[in-house]
């Protein structure tokens, strides 16, 4: 048995260092690295099972060619050279007839390695195909909101929490999605009595441990943040010196916006008690180093950008952006300045037609001149995770669409493919990583032999590039040499990384030695007033107003959807592990007891969730984890697991106010009993 130090590649802010135990090339067990300060010797409950993921009997082991109707899941095994020849011959023919825009590479984040994630993008960039506007299903809204307010720069170091005297988890269930920060914060709470506040419409696992839990009404975070600012100003707790020195436009916000957000009106909008709002403001106002962990949860709705931006302005009022252990943390990656273009944009046109990640269905069904005729999906399962999932499936079912899916598993999306290629997992690949929620960089080497004939994203991108006649050097380099390209022209701590230590697998700390939070906005200050937003016709100052489309939907339907991460699943990436499927349980929804009683429903019932977009079936749980008027559906589960359908069949593909992101939670619906006789066959 051999131990190999590797890096977790799942889409997660923590980027753990892991120890893989391998016997004769076979992965036996994975555990957290005890010698990595942030990982601190433990992996999460999902990754503790990654040996089951890698060795799952459900993995695809050879390339497959479709041998039945699209969606049927009928395939025949073929050889790699046959598969690659067929793919590239079809692409060449389609490009010859319709031009490169008829091809779309749809690759995302399930492998966080800079090579395995980046080179697939590099392939399609170099081919000049239609280009994916990636990440709108996830973080483009929060990222845009942060960028216009703070600038494209990383936030607070999560490890600075040892200096914090208050942590606020605002729209983030840290016990699910950021377990290493959560563990550090809890340790500070135990050691020093540092209080933790949780602001979330769901009484999450994190909320249950909090000193103060605020069950906020969905989509009202901007109002709460403005209500807190109102009290800080009222009580003389605003840091005037900091505001004058480091921020722009606060005086106008103070004059025109804050007077509207009295505690009483804030309570009315947010559904919170005045006493709780006062308590939050007092805790925040008196703290010396309050750290706000901004979650993406508050941005997955129509006015999500406004919500995140407003909360990110709070440390500008307290001045905590200048204090170690204070400020705000959304993401850190923007401060790791590597030469990403070397991998992601080796050649190809500077701009081309864009396809929004969350509107795949519409793109496949409606795009013309030319229509999308070839689709390559990698590390992404859009028929489950993309809103308007019905449209995605209708698009994928098009007989004249040539679809290739590269995945370790035969996903719901792969079932529609003409060619399925077996993907190697991260434990079977070499790659360079940098965290997006901490300041660490690390090389992760291949620990296990790829199962069957599985090949990595990097390897397949190179093989396809070669057959397509692309000559860029990066398509010929071995992984380590390709990784070195990332350092050419790099700046900051990442550029300084000692290559010998790096490639020996040592974690490299890449935190900047900051005198305080830098601002990379046009003014160089924290922007309460944003000219960039004004130019886009958006409110230049933080504010909260009711969204008119949401208000109309709320009149038509009685329940609002709340989406939240699964504790034992992350989207569909672990659905090949039967143990974790069982831990997560039969795909379910949760109703407040009052809403369940009103509909004559009880826990364990199979229920129908429906709206104008369709209907799906889930198993009902009833408890007060959520407020009346809301239905919680954790995660997105494959149709094979659910009673019928998947939650994104009910979700709209409307864009958020900033970053053209997904608005899963701007979804209204109703729930009713679902007798077996009424259910469609799957």
Ligand X SMILES: Nc1nc2c(c(=O)[nH]1)N[C@H]1C(S)=C(S)[C@@H](COP(=O)(O)OP(=O)(O)OC[C@H]3O[C@@H](n4cnc5c(=O)[nH]c(N)nc54)[C@H](O)[C@@H]3O)O[C@H]1N2
Tokens of 76: 């025949």
Residue with tokens 């069982």: 582
Say which entry of ligand X, Mo ion, ligand SF4, none residue 47 contacts (CB below 5 to 8 A, set by partner kind).
ligand SF4
The bridge status of strand 166-170 relative to strand 131-133 is unpaired
Pick one of 31, 112, 136, 177: the residue that binds ligand X (CB under 6 A).
177
Is 202 a binding residue for ligand X by CB under 6 A? The answer is: yes
**What is the rounded CA–CA span in Å between residue 468 and residue 308?**
43
Question: Is residue 338 a contact partner of residue 494, using CB atoms and an 8 Å limit?
Answer: yes
Nearest to 666 by CA among 548, 557, 561: 561
Interaction of residue 54 with ligand SF4, rule CB under 6 A: no
Instruction: Compare residues 22 and 562 and give the one whose CB is closer to ligand X.
Output: 562
Under the criterion CB under 6 A, does residue 560 sit at the interface with ligand X?
A: no
Pick the closer one to Mo ion by CB: 621 or 646.
646
From the list 638, 657, 660, the residue with the least C-alpha distance to 647 is 638
Among 4, 20, 22, 47, interactor with ligand SF4 by CB under 6 A: 47
Closest alpha carbon to 394 in 649, 610, 67: 649
Q: Is 276 in the site for ligand X (CB under 6 A)?
A: no
Q: Which does 646 bind (CB under 5 to 8 A by kind): Mo ion, ligand X, ligand SF4, none?
A: none
> Which region, judged by CB under 6 A, interacts with ligand X, from 103-111, 480-488, 534-542, 595-603?
103-111
Distance in angstroms (rounded) separating the CA atoms of residues 284 and 345 = 44
Check if the beta carbon of residue 242 is closer than 8 Å to that of residue 319.
Answer: yes
As measured in angstroms, the least distance from the Cβ of 146 to ligand X is 12
Nearest to 632 by CA among 681, 563, 568: 563
Could you say which of 144, 335, 381, 644 contacts ligand X (CB under 6 A)? 381
Task: Choose between 109 and 318: whose C-beta lies nearer to ligand X.
Answer: 109
Distances, alpha carbon 162 to alpha carbons 156, 159, 185, 191, 285, in Å:
12, 7, 8, 10, 19
Cβ(433)–Cβ(112) under 8 Å?
yes
Q: Does 464 bind ligand SF4 (CB under 6 A)?
A: no
Contact with ligand SF4 (CB under 6 A) among 4, 5, 6, 16: 16
- In the range 6-25, which residues lie near ligand X by CB under 6 A? 11-12
**Which of ligand X, ligand SF4, Mo ion, none binds 562 (CB below 5-8 Å, type-dependent)?**
ligand X
Binding at 16: pick from Mo ion, ligand SF4, ligand X, none (beta carbon under 5-8 Å per type)? ligand SF4
Q: How far is CA 474 from CA 301, 485, 486, 636, in A?
A: 39, 8, 11, 35
Q: Which stretch binds ligand X (CB under 6 A): 518-526, 568-576, 590-598, 612-620?
A: 568-576
Q: State which of residues 250, 426, 475, 655 lies at the interface with ligand X (CB under 6 A).
A: 426
Q: How far apart are CA 657 and CA 414, in angstroms?
A: 32
Give the residue, chosen from 571, 581, 608, 637, that forms a contact with ligand X under the rule CB under 6 A.
571
Strands 374-378 and 402-407: parallel
CB of 204 to ligand X, least distance (A): 5
Cα(45)–Cα(228) distance, integer angstroms: 36
String of contacts with ligand X for each residue 619-658, x by CB under 6 A: ----------------xx----------xx--x-------
Instruction: Compute φ and ψ for 312, nearest 5 degrees.
Output: -70, -15
**Comparing C-alpha atoms, which of 622, 598, 567, 573 is closest to residue 672?**
598
Beta bridge partners of 22: 2, 27
Instruction: By CB under 6 A, tell whether 101 contacts ligand SF4.
Output: no
Distance from C-alpha of 348 to C-alpha of 468, rounded to nearest angstrom: 13
- Write the secondary structure of 33-50 as one string of H (helix), E (strand) and C (coil): CCCCCCCCCCCCCCHHHH
Q: Which residues in the 150-189 window bind ligand SF4 by CB under 6 A?
A: 179
Piece in contact with ligand X (CB under 6 A), picked from 131-139, 159-167, 259-267, 359-367: 131-139
Give the burial string for 554-588 (b: 16+ CB within 10 Å, else e): beeebbbbbbbbbbbbbbbbbbbbeebbebbeebb
Is there binding between residue 280 and ligand SF4 (CB under 6 A)?
no
Q: Verify binding: residue 379, Mo ion, rule CB under 5 A.
A: no
Please identify, among the stretches 11-19, 400-408, 453-461, 583-591, the one whose residues bind ligand SF4 according to the rule CB under 6 A: 11-19
Interface with ligand X (CB under 6 A), residue from 50, 159, 296, 485: 296
Region of 56-64, 110-118, 281-289, 582-590 interacting with ligand X (CB under 6 A):
110-118
Instruction: Categorise residue 379: left if φ over 0, alpha if ψ from -120 to 50, beta otherwise.
Output: left
Tokens 């060795």: give the residue. Answer: 55
Nearer to ligand X, 124 or 529 (CB): 124
Among the residue ranges 130-138, 199-207, 561-569, 609-617, the one whose residues contact Mo ion (CB under 5 A):
130-138
- Give the binding range for ligand SF4 (CB under 6 A) out of 43-51, 250-258, 449-457, 475-483: 43-51
Q: How many residues contact ligand SF4, by CB under 6 A?
A: 11
Applying CB under 6 A, which residues contact ligand SF4? Answer: 8, 10, 12, 14-16, 43-44, 46-47, 179
Applying CB under 5 A, which residues contact Mo ion? Answer: 138
Applying CB under 6 A, which residues contact ligand X? Answer: 11-12, 108-111, 116, 137-139, 170-173, 176-177, 199-202, 204, 216, 218-219, 221, 295-298, 300, 378-382, 385, 406-409, 411, 423, 425-426, 457, 562-567, 570-573, 635-636, 647-648, 651, 664-665
């Amino acid at each position: 048995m051999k131990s190999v130090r590797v890096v977790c590649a799942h889409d997660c802010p923590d980027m753990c260092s892991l120890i893989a135990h391998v016997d004769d090339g076979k992965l036996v067990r994975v555990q957290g690295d005890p010698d990595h300060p942030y990982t601190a010797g433990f992996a999460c409950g999902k990754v503790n099972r990654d040996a089951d993921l890698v060795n799952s009997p459900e993995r695809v082991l050879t390339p497959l060619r479709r041998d039945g109707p699209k969606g049927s899941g009928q395939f025949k095994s073929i050889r790699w050279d046959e598969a690659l020849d067929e793919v590239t011959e079809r692409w060449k023919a389609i490009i010859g007839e319709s031009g490169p825009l008829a091809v779309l590479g749809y690759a995302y984040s399930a492998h966080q390695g800079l090579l395995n994630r980046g080179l697939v993008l590099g392939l399609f960039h170099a081919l000049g195909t239609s280009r994916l506007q990636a990440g709108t299903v996830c973080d483009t809204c929060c990222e845009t909101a942060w960028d216009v307010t703070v600038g494209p720069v990383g936030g607070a170091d999560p490890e600075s929490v040892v200096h914090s005297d208050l942590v606020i988890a605002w729209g983030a269930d840290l016990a699910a999605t950021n377990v290493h920060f959560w563990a550090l914060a809890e340790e500070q709470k135990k050691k020093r009595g540092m209080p933790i506040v949780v602001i979330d419409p769901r009484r999450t696992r994190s909320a249950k441990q909090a000193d103060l839990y605020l069950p906020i009404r969905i989509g009202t975070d901007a109002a709460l943040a403005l209500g807190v600012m109102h009290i800080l100003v009222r009580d003389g707790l605003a840091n005037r010196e900091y505001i004058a020195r480091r921020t722009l436009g606060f005086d106008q916000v103070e004059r025109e916006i804050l007077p509207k957000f009295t505690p009483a009106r804030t309570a009315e909008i947010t559904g919170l008690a005045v006493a709780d709002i006062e308590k939050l403001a007092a805790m925040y106002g008196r703290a010396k180093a309050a750290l706000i962990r901004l979650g993406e949860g508050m941005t997955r709705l129509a006015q999500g950008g406004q919500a995140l931006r407003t909360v990110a302005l709070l440390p500008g009022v307290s001045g905590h952006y200048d204090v170690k252990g204070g400020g705000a943390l959304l993401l850190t990656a923007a401060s790791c300045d590597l030469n990403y273009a070397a991998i992601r944009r080796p050649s190809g046109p500077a701009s081309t037609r864009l396809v929004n990640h969350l509107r795949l269905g519409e793109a496949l069904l409606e795009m013309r001149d030319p229509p999308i005729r070839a689709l390559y999906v990698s590390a992404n399962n859009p028929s489950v995770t993309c809103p308007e999932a019905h449209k995605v499936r209708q698009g994928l079912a098009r007989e004249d669409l040539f679809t290739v899916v590269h995945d370790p598993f035969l996903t719901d999306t792969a079932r529609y493919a003409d060619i399925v290629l077996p993907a190697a997992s991260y434990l079977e690949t070499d790659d360079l990583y940098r965290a997006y929620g901490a300041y660490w960089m690390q090389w992760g080497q291949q620990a296990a032999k790829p199962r069957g004939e599985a090949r990595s994203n990097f390897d397949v991108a190179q093989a396809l590039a070669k057959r397509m006649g692309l000559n860029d050097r990066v398509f010929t380099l071995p992984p380590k040499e390709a990784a070195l390209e990332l350092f050419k022209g790099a700046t900051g701590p990442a550029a300084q990384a000692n290559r010998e230590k790096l490639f020996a697998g040592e974690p490299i700390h890449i935190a900047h030695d900051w005198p305080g939070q830098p601002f990379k906005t046009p003014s160089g200050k924290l922007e309460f007033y944003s000219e960039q937003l004004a130019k886009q016709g958006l409110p230049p100052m933080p504010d909260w107003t009711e969204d008119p489309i949401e208000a109309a939907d709320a009149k038509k339907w009685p329940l609002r959807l709340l989406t939240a991460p699964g504790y034992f699943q992350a989207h569909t990436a672990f659905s090949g592990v039967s143990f974790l499927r069982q831990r997560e349980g039969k795909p379910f929804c949760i109703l407040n007891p009052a809403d369940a009683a009103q509909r004559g429903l009880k826990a364990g019932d199979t229920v129908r969730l429906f709206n104008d977009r369709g209907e799906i079936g889930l198993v009902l749980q009833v408890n007060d984890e959520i407020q009346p008027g809301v239905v919680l559906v954790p995660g997105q589960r494959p149709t094979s697991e659910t009673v019928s359908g998947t939650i994104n069949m009910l979700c709209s593909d409307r864009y958020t106010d900033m970053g053209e992101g997904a608005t899963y939670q701007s979804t209204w619906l109703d729930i009713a009993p679902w007798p077996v006789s009424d259910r469609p066959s799957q």
